[in-house]
Every structure is written in C-alpha cells, then in structure tokens.
C-alpha cells in the first residue's frame, strides 16, 4: 500500500475527478437516432449526427430531465438559464469539428455527494468511436482509422468534483458511490467497461500543511475502478519521485495503459487546443421550468446516502452493513426486495443473510462480482430462509445447505427442507438418544469435558451434527451434552 | 381571354400566373415548361442546376391546400435538396447530393411549387457581388458587364432576367435585399426565426434567414406565407404569429416612417443617383399620407464592423465540418490526417471564404475573444436597442438598400472593405433580427454615366411585423409603379 510509503509524511495528494456518464435516453442528444451498443457500425446515423451541411441540433428533452435528476441527486444548484457552447477542434470523431457542450454557464453547480463537493454538472454530446488500425490502438503510427458514428451524439453528463479527495482508495470508493447514485436514478447503465461511465482524474501533490495546490496532471482512460486506483497511485508515486528529486511536475495529460499499468503523456496535438468556445447559435438557452424541476425532484428514488441513514436508524443495521447495502445498488435492490417479501422476519437477520451467506455462496459458485439479482436465489426465497432460521424451524447449518441448493437450482426453501429432511429436530427424545450415543462413542472427550475443558466438546457436537445431517441446533446440542455429562 | 404567349407568360408575376391558372386560361404545366426552356438556355450563369425541360417534377399531392399549382421556383444553391446536387457555390461541395431536403423547400413543395433550378451564389453566401462563386460570376441582366449583387445573385438575376417567376435566397447581412436592389426586384428578409433554417447550409447561424426574391410585393407575401412557421427541426424557428396576410394597402395614411439622417449620411460613397432616388421615395411616402419622422440609430454605423467579427466567427465553426472525411471534396495521397484536412480545405475553399475563416478564428481565439467577439456582441445589442427606441417613435424605418447601383464586374474584388460596405444599410437590420424589404424605387445613372440602373428602397419593421411591412411596401410599389425591365 502506498500509505506505507515515505513520501506520505511529506506530501499530501489532492485529487479531483471528472466523470462522464452516458445517459440511457432513447435517442441521441441532438438528433432522433436511437442509442445503440455493439451494433453494426454507422447504422444509427442521420444528417444531423453526421454533420451534413444545413443540419441543425435540437436538444433531447429526456436528456435534460435525466441530467436534472443527476444534478438534483448531487444536491446542486440548477441554473435558471444555462447555455450551450461550441467547443471547436478538428478530429474525425467529431464530425461538426465542434462539440456542443456547456461552458461558462453549466446546467448545475455547487453540489455535494458524501464528503466530496461537486463543482459543476453539464450536458454535452459524445464523440464517435475511432478504431485505429495499429498495434497501439492510438491514432499516431496507425496505418488507417475507421469511424463508427453510432456512438457520436450520445448524451453525456459531465460531473466535475472539487479536489476534495486525498487518497486513491477513497477516490475509488467515492466513484462507486456516485455510480450507485446514478444507477439508482436509472438514467444510465454506468458501466465502466462499456464506457457508459468514464473517469478522468486530476492529481497533484502538495507539501503537507500547504494551502496552495501543486501542479496537476490529468489522467485519462482508467476504465475500471481498479485501474482508477492503480492509475492515481502510479501518478502519485511518479510525482513524489519528481518532487523528491527537486524536479518540476509538468502540467500534462497522461494516458493510462491498463496492460502495463504505465502512464504515458499524450502527444501535444492530441490535447493542446485553443477550443475557441462561443455560444451555440443553433440552440436556445436551457431554462428548466418549475414543472420540470419538481417532476425531476419527485421522480428521484431513495439515494444511497439517505438509504444508509434509514438502514442505520430504522432497521438498526450495523454501520458497515448499512453502507454496503446502501452503496451497492445491486445488493441494495436485492435486500429491498427480500425485505418486502419477508413476513415479520427481523431486517437485520435478512441483512446478515444477504451480505454474508448469500454473497459468499454466490462468490463460491461463480467468480466475484456475482450479481444476486441474476442468481437463482430469489429475494423471496432468501427472506423465507432467513425467517425459518429466525423462528428456529431449521438450524443455521441446514439453512446453509438449503442456500447451496438454491444457488445451484433455485426453488422454494420450504420444499427443499421437506425434500431433504432438514427440518429442525424438535423431538428432543430423538436428539437426546443421539447425544447419548455421542458420549458413549468418545469417552475420552466426554471425560475431558466433564473435567471442565469445554474445548473438548467439539468432537461430540460434530458427532451429533453428522448424525442429524446438520438439522440440530448447535446451542441445543451443547446444552444436551452438558446436561448428559452432569454439567447442566 | 386567350392563353398568353410565352413572352407574356414570362412577364407574369407568380400571383398573376396563379390567377390565370385558376381561371382556366393557362395550363399550370405550361408555366413550368416555359421557364424550364429559358432556364436551360440562359446566359447569365444564374443557375448551377436546372430541371431538364420536359422532366417536370411531379407535384407532391393534389389536395386543395396546394395553392401554388405546380409553379416553378428557383432555389438558391445553399438549400439542401434531396438527391439534387447542392454546392453552396463552393468547390468543397462539388458532387455532393444531400440525403434530405431543407424545410423551406419542403414547405414550398407541399404548397405545390416545383423546383425549377438551383441558383448560383457567392461561395457559402459570403459576398456582395456573386464574384465569389467557385462556378463563375452571375451577370446582371440590366448590364452584363455588371454584378447582380450577392450573395443571392443567381436568384436575383433569374427573377429579374425572366428566367424564373420567383426565387428564394438567404440573407445574412443583406444577401437578399442588396441583389434585389441591384437587379430591380423585390427582396424580403423576414424576421430571424420566421422561416426554418433546417437544411440551409449555414454561414452565420445567428443571422442567416431565408426569404423570397420576387417581381412584386404580393409574390413575396405568397412565398413567405408558404414557408414561414415553427419547425421542430430548428430550435430557433418560431414562425409568424397570426400568419401572413396578402398585402392590400394602397396608402400610408397614419403611418410614421423613420429616417435616420445621421446613419444615411455617414455612409461613404452613397452615389448621388441613389441619394436622389431615396429623397424622391420620401416624397412619395408623404404623398401617400405617411409622415416622415427624424430618428436616430446612433450605433448602426458600427454595424459593418460588428458584423465582420460575428459572422466570420460563426462561419469559422460552421465551415469546419468540410474536412474531407464524410462527403464532398477530399484531397488524398497525403502523409497524414492533418495534411489531408489542410490540403482538402486549401483546394476546396475560395479566397474570401478563407479570409473569413481566418478572421473568425482569430476573433474567437483565447486572449482576443472579449476584445473582438465580446465587443461585437455588445454593439449588436446596442443596435437592436437603437431600433427598439426608434420603433417607439415610428412604425417603419426606411433607408436606401445599397449605397450604389450595380457595379462593374471586378470593380471591388481587390478591395474587400469597399465590397463589405455594400451592406452598410442592410447589416444593422440583420444584427437586430428585424424584417426588412427592398423594393425597386427607380433607376439612376451609375457614377461614371451610362444606362440607368435600378435603385432599391429598404423598409424595415419591428420583429414579426411582416404584415405591416408588406402592406406599406405594397402601397409604395403601387405609387412608384416601377415598370422598367432589363433589355
Ligand atoms: Zn442522428
């Protein structure tokens, strides 16, 4: 971990993030072409998104609504009248040779999510996708390049944070929180691998205790949470080494290569632009009406931060568990569904089963990142199972076996319990007989327990569990053994 | 009445032809065929594309709303027409066939008009003489040694030269009104937002506006009525509230007509013939019962300066899409992408277009933006306010349309500033976004003597007061009774 590194005593990281979120609207930002992913190239194009002469952009109202929802979820101030600008630069992924974006008057400013302040939120259009026919996958040195305009014009929301992060791991966690928040609203797939969530980081170091910011580098292309953390770490190391050697950090844009984990500066032609911003004369200002604002506000679902509060206060979940369920959108949705299906089961018991046993057995069954929603275990079944345990209808051990069956084949836990005879042994006569056999079969252990060595009870309990196929309740078994040995 | 001879037919206004068609005196197709014949044989270089004689496009439908009865209309080559080559007067769009049709043209078709041809123009509408076309200059039908004005010079020459009954053009700083003036016809620039810009190749988006070039004011109203309206494809279009009434007024009783002496007299090089004609028009206004009000437009004289920052700035972005990647000209066989961009644009654009791209790029550059673009926007706002104040005291503003009559080919090509001043009187209305019309006010000898040439009178009205503007222009048109025709 970098926290162990010496430079941490001398320098303090200052990290800000710049996030691009592709909105999952039906159509593109400024034309009627449908959004698509992974389709045949240049299928979803029209005179507008191909920048034919005379074509004009028209703002997608759904994109504005989605962006407003994001801005409100981030607690931003919405500009009563924001405007679009043209950002001019030549590149084949940019057919108009300008991107319609927002500049000095963005859609929203001054927000907050968790501990991080939001500088601004604005709307813009995505570039087309370039495929460079070269080993590096970059335009320089490539023999030819192909352009796919399907992605060109996809609505993007850009979110810029204040430089409030001071640690790569925290940056990663915060980005996950942002992802969950946006996923919860349902306005984007926020998938980093597919590019519907992209994150650049502005990274600098300053002497501990200093107020002034150091020279920052902009890191691009960190297309997973892991890469974001690794990229920032690598850059912090690089800057610390420069500063230790009393060299200057240069303001530059660096490209993160996930394969080598290395950062390479982008050629000046790829980023050194005078964008010649000016107000887009083809569009009228964006002035959200009171009705649009209240509609956006009302359509916001419960967001991670307030969900966490509710889990703590009302459901009395543990802090870590509340955070996990509130900040992991998939798991949270699953938990909510299980809660809804539960019939009087304590929420905490369900939470334990979701965050503990379920996550563990899904991991075991598949790779990591298993999404409970797509598993065979329905929230309904899990709630039922947790209820049976809480009511001591089955033992914890038996419940684990039921869960394994559920993960493998799905189904109804009640049926599985019946079918496999896993019901709790409530006929204490039968259990007492098995306990008696256990004590007889291992007189040595029985003697040690009788002498007060409680650790020796393990083999005896194990015997009972084996005999009962785990149906017996562990506490009850221990009680009966002690009673049998005269320790009751 | 018997059906007219071809030469009689070509003299008819569009409204006149419609009346005869409705009365059964003139088969509708005959009008299209007659114009297709003369357009095919034209010598003014007014057209860049013509419908083949005998291959009349079928009218879109036969419903009764089709009030234009299959009449031909000439369309400036700045409007995209599906499947028909559209060059914007530029080499860079050579061979380009748009996949769609501009809203204004589509509306004309829906009203029953048929595209007769695409007219020549200054490249990307940048010019006041039509000498900036990559396809050669258009000649003025009054004197073929002279320019027709620009940038809608092909449309103006076609209408004046009886090669089209009427035409549409675009006006960014005077590109309809000035050629209309130089060719002795009517040219209307509607309020910004009256007609959709969708499919009109952009020059300066905040100024470009489509409008009619016609033989008389009634025809201008007819075309405006067919084209105006809100278009969901153009966010800046709003249409004209209440629509367009055909003009009927024959006097100017009760109308206050503003004259800004200061503005008119600050113009350098207003030719004596133009000034005299203007004074005569003022007298006519008074004879018609209008009152002349002295008004001030204190910032209007700075219009040209502001215009030549704002329009090139917008153009520099609008023309950046011509990069050789997706359509039009591409210079291949170069080392890399940047070289392809550079060579394509170097070969594809003409001198004036390059000049304006440079001007605009400079004006928007970091460090210069406030001084140029920012200041120009302020001047624009001040000019708009000048007109608002003026319209508190008067109903219309009048000026000469152009400081000069048609000048000789080549006379101003070496002096861009002299050329830019051709739009001295028309640019302020464009910056203010208000409607303005040029009507023929008489003939005047050019400064060096010679055959008298047309002089235009410009009338301007508050935004969306097109009906008032057309009514006043109609009354003046009747009184002036301009009957002269090019030889
Ligand atoms: Zn499209």
Interface mutation target, options A29, A31, A51, A56, chain B, most CBs of B under 10 Å: A56
Mean pLDDT on B93-106:
96
Taking the centre of ligand 1 as the mean of its atom positions, its distance from the CA of residue A36, in whole angstroms, is 12
Q: Which of B155, B175, B430, B467 is catalytic?
A: B175
Residue in B86, B232, B320 nearest the CB of A58: B232
**pLDDT given for residue A352 in this prediction:** 85
From the list B48, B111, B100, B95, the residue with the least C-alpha distance to B74 is: B48
Per-residue pLDDT of chain A (488 residues; tens, 9 = 90+): 444 568 888 889 999 999 999 999 999 999 999 998 888 999 999 999 999 999 999 999 999 999 999 999 999 999 999 999 999 999 999 999 999 999 999 999 999 998 899 999 999 999 999 887 665 555 555 567 889 999 999 999 999 999 999 999 999 989 988 998 999 899 999 998 888 999 999 999 888 888 888 888 888 878 888 889 989 998 998 888 888 888 888 888 888 887 777 888 876 544 557 899 999 999 999 999 999 999 999 989 888 888 888 998 888 888 888 888 888 878 888 888 888 888 788 888 888 888 888 887 777 766 445 677 777 888 888 888 888 888 878 878 778 888 888 887 888 888 877 777 766 666 667 778 888 888 888 888 888 888 888 888 888 888 888 877 777 777 778 888 888 888 76
Mean pLDDT on B198-221:
98
**pLDDT given for residue A2 in this prediction:** 45
pLDDT in tens, B407-416: 999 998 888 7
B-chain residues within 8 Å CB-CB of A269?
A: 338
CA distance B293 to B260: 9
DSSP A133: -
Distance from CA of B323 to the nearest CA of A (A): 8
Using CA coordinates, name the residue in chain A closest to B321.
A96
Mapped onto helix, strand or coil, the DSSP state of residue B289 is coil
8 A C-beta contact, residue A160 and residue A12: no
From the list B309, B269, B199, the residue with the least C-alpha distance to B425 is: B269
The ranges assigned to domains in chain A are: 4-296, 302-420, 428-484
Whether B214 is in a domain gets the answer no
Higher pLDDT, A421 or B155: B155
Whether B102 is in a domain gets the answer yes
B-chain residues within 8 Å CB-CB of A86?
A: 317
Token output for B442: 């008489």
**Domain boundaries, position B62:** 6-186+193-207
Does pLDDT of B60 surpass 70?
Answer: no
Q: Is A90 on the interface with B (CB under 8 A)?
A: yes
Residue in A55, A88, A274 nearest the CB of B317: A88
**pLDDT given for residue A1 in this prediction:** 41
Q: Do B314 and A88 touch (CB under 8 A)?
A: no
B-chain residues within 8 Å CB-CB of A87?
A: none
Does pLDDT of B94 surpass 50?
Answer: yes
Higher pLDDT, B422 or A158: A158
Mapped onto helix, strand or coil, the DSSP state of residue A65 is helix
End-to-end CA distance of chain B: 27
Q: Do B323 and A86 touch (CB under 8 A)?
A: no
Whether B14 is in a domain gets the answer yes
Mean pLDDT on B468-485:
96
Q: What is the mean pLDDT of chain B?
A: 94
**pLDDT given for residue B226 in this prediction:** 96
Could you tell me how many residues make up chain A?
488
Least reliable range by pLDDT among A402-406, B116-120, B454-458: A402-406
pLDDT in tens, B231-264: 999 999 999 998 999 999 999 999 999 999 888 7
Helices (H) and strands (E) in chain B, counts: 16, 11
**pLDDT given for residue A153 in this prediction:** 96
Query: What is the b/e burial string over B278-288, where b = at least 16 CB atoms within 10 angstroms of the residue's CB?
Result: bebbeebbeeb
Whether B152 is in a domain gets the answer yes
Mean pLDDT on B18-27:
91
Tell me the CATH number at B22.
3.90.1300.10
Whether B100 is in a domain gets the answer yes
**pLDDT given for residue A383 in this prediction:** 84
Distance from CA of B170 to the nearest CA of A (A): 13
Please give the tally of structural domains in chain B. 1
Counting Cβ atoms within 10 Å, is residue B428 exposed (0-12), middle (13-18) or buried (19+)?
buried
Mean pLDDT on B364-375:
91
Interface mutation target, options A276, A280, A284, A287, chain B, most CBs of B under 10 Å: A276
**pLDDT given for residue A256 in this prediction:** 83
**pLDDT given for residue A384 in this prediction:** 83
CA distances from B53 to A189, B27, B32, B50, B317 (A): 57, 16, 9, 9, 39
Q: How many CB atoms lie within 10 A of CB B443?
A: 17
B-chain residues within 8 Å CB-CB of A47?
A: 98-100
Q: Is B151 a catalytic residue?
A: yes
Which residues have C-beta within 8 Å of that of residue A381, sequence separation ≥ 6?
A406, A410, A411, A412, A413
Whether B350 is in a domain gets the answer no
Higher pLDDT, B140 or B268: B140
Counting Cβ atoms within 10 Å, is residue A298 exposed (0-12), middle (13-18) or buried (19+)?
exposed
Q: Do B88 and A88 touch (CB under 8 A)?
A: no
**pLDDT given for residue A367 in this prediction:** 46
CA distance A302 to B330: 54
Residue in B205, B233, B373 nearest the CB of A58: B233
From the list B423, B449, B417, B420, the residue with the least C-alpha distance to B436 is: B423
Residue in B201, B317, B327 nearest the CB of A54: B201
8 A C-beta contact, residue A384 and residue A416: no
What's CA B309's distance to the chain center, in Å?
A: 21
**pLDDT given for residue B61 in this prediction:** 56
Which residues have C-beta within 8 Å of that of residue A287, sequence separation ≥ 6?
A80, A81, A82
**pLDDT given for residue A368 in this prediction:** 47
Sheet containing A197-207: give its strands across: A77-78, A108-113, A116-125, A155-161, A11-22, A197-207, A217-220, A252-257, A262-265
Q: What share of chain A is helix, strand, coil (3-state, %, to 5)?
A: 40, 20, 40
**pLDDT given for residue B267 in this prediction:** 63
CA distance A185 to A74: 11
From the list B339, B10, B347, B290, the residue with the least C-alpha distance to B161 is: B10
Which residues are placed with Cβ below 5 angstroms of ligand 1, an ion? A 31, 33, 46, 48-49
Q: What architecture (CATH level 2) is domain A428-484?
A: Orthogonal Bundle (1.10)
CA distance B309 to B389: 25
Q: Is A53 on the interface with B (CB under 8 A)?
A: yes
Higher pLDDT, B436 or A358: B436
pTM, two decimal places? 0.86
Mean pLDDT on B162-190:
98
ipTM above 0.85, yes or no: yes
Taking the centre of ligand 1 as the mean of its atom positions, its distance from the CA of residue A389, in whole angstroms, is 56
Q: Do A95 and B325 touch (CB under 8 A)?
A: yes
**pLDDT given for residue A488 in this prediction:** 65
Q: Which of B109, B133, B151, B316 is catalytic?
A: B151
Whether B306 is in a domain gets the answer no
Whether B169 is in a domain gets the answer yes
């Amino acid at each position: 971990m970098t926290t162990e590194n010496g430079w941490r005593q001398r320098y303090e990281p200052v990290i800000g993030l710049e996030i691009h979120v592709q909105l999952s609207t039906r159509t593109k930002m400024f034309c009627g072409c449908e959004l698509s992913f992974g389709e045949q190239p240049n299928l979803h194009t029209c005179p507008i998104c191909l920048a034919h002469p005379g074509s004009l952009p028209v703002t997608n109202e759904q994109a504005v609504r989605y962006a407003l929802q994001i801005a409100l979820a981030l607690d931003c101030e919405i500009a009563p009248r924001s405007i679009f600008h043209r950002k001019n630069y030549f590149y084949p992924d940019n057919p108009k040779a300008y991107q319609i974006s927002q500049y000095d008057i963005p859609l929203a400013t001054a927000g907050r999510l968790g501990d991080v302040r939001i500088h601004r939120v604005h709307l813009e259009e995505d570039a087309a996708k370039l495929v460079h026919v070269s080993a590096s996958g970059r335009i320089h040195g490539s023999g030819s390049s192909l352009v796919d305009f399907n992605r060109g014009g996809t609505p993007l929301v850009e979110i810029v944070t204040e430089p409030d992060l001071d640690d790569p791991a925290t940056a990663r966690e915060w980005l996950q929180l942002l992802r969950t928040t946006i996923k919860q609203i349902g306005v984007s797939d926020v998938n980093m691998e597919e590019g519907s969530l992209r994150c650049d980081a502005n990274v600098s170091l300053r002497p501990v205790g200093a107020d002034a910011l150091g020279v920052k580098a902009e890191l691009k292309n960190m297309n997973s949470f892991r890469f974001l953390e690794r990229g920032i770490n690598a850059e912090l190391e690089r800057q610390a080494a420069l500063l230790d050697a009393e060299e200057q950090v240069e303001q530059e844009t660096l490209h993160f290569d996930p394969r080598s984990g290395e950062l390479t500066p982008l050629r000046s032609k790829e980023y050194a632009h005078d964008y010649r911003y000016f107000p887009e004369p083809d569009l009228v200002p964006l002035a959200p009406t009171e009705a649009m604002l209240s509609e956006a506000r009302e359509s916001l679902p419960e967001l991670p931060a307030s969900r966490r509060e509710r889990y703590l206060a009302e459901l009395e979940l543990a802090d870590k568990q509340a955070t996990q369920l509130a900040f992991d959108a998939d798991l949270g949705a699953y938990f909510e569904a299980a809660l809804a299906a539960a019939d009087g089961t304590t929420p905490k018991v369900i939470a334990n089963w979701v965050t503990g046993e379920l996550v563990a057995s899904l991991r075991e069954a598949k790779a990591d990142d298993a999404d409970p929603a797509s598993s065979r275990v329905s929230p309904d079944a899990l709630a039922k199972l947790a209820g049976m345990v809480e009511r001591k209808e089955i033992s914890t051990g038996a419940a684990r076996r039921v869960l394994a069956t559920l993960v493998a084949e799905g189904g109804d836990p009640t049926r599985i319990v019946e079918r496999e005879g896993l019901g709790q042994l409530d006929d204490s006569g039968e259990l007492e007989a098995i306990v008696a056999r256990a004590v007889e079969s291992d007189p040595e252990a029985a003697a040690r327990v009788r002498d007060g060595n409680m650790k020796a009870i393990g083999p005896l309990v194990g015997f009972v569990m084996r005999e009962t196929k785990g149906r017996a309740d562990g506490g009850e078994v221990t009680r009966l053994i002690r009673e049998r040995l005269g320790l009751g | 009445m018997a059906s007219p001879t071809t030469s009689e037919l070509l003299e008819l206004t569009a409204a006149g032809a419609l009346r005869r068609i409705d009365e059964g005196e003139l088969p509708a197709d005959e009008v299209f065929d007659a114009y297709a014949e003369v357009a095919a044989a034209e010598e003014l270089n007014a057209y860049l594309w013509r419908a083949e004689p005998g291959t009349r496009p079928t009218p879109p439908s036969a419903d009764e709303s089709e009030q234009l009865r299959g009449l031909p209309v000439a369309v400036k080559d700045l409007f995209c027409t599906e499947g028909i080559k559209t060059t914007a007067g530029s080499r860079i769009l050579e061979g380009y066939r748009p996949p769609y049709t501009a809203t204004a043209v589509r509306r004309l078709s829906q009203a029953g008009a048929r595209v007769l041809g695409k007219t020549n123009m200054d490249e990307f509408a940048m010019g006041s003489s039509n000498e900036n076309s990559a396809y050669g200059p258009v000649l003025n039908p009054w004197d073929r040694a002279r320019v027709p004005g620009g940038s809608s010079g092909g449309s103006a020459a076609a209408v004046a030269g009886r090669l089209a009954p009427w035409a549409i053009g675009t006006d960014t700083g005077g590109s309809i009104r000035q050629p209309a003036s130089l060719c002795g016809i009517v040219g209307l620039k509607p309020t910004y937002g009256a007609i959709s810009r969708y499919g009109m190749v952009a020059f300066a988006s905040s100024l470009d506006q489509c409008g009619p070039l016609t033989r008389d004011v009634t025809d201008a109203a007819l075309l405006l009525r067919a084209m105006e309206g809100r278009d969901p494809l153009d966010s800046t279009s709003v249409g004209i509230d209440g629509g367009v009434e055909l003009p009927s007024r024959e006097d100017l009783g009760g109308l206050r007509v503003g004259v800004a002496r200061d503005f008119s007299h600050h113009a350098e090089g207003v030719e004596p013939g133009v000034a005299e004609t203007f004074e005569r028009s003022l007298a006519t206004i008074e004879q018609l019962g209008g009152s002349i009000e002295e008004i001030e437009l204190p910032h209007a004289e700075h219009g040209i300066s502001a215009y030549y920052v704002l329009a090139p700035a917008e153009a520099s972005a609008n023309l950046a899409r011509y990069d050789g990647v997706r359509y039009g000209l591409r210079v291949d066989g170069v080392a890399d992408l940047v070289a392809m961009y550079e060579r394509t644009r170097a070969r594809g654009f003409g001198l004036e277009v390059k000049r304006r791209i440079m001007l605009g790029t400079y004006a928007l550059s970091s460090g210069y933006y406030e001084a140029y673009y920012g200041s120009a926007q302020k001047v624009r706002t001040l000019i708009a306010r000048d007109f608002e104040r003026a319209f508190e005291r008067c109903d219309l503003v009048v000026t000469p349309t152009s400081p000069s009559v048609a000048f000789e080919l080549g006379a101003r090509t070496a002096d861009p500033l002299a050329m830019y001043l051709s739009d001295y009187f028309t640019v302020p209305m464009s910056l203010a976004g208000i409607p303005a019309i040029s009507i023929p006010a008489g003939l005047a000898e050019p400064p060096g003597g010679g055959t008298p040439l047309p002089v235009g009178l410009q009338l301007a009205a508050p935004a969306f007061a097109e009906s008032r503007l057309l009514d006043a222009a109609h009354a003046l048109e009747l009184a002036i009774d301009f009957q002269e025709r090019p030889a």
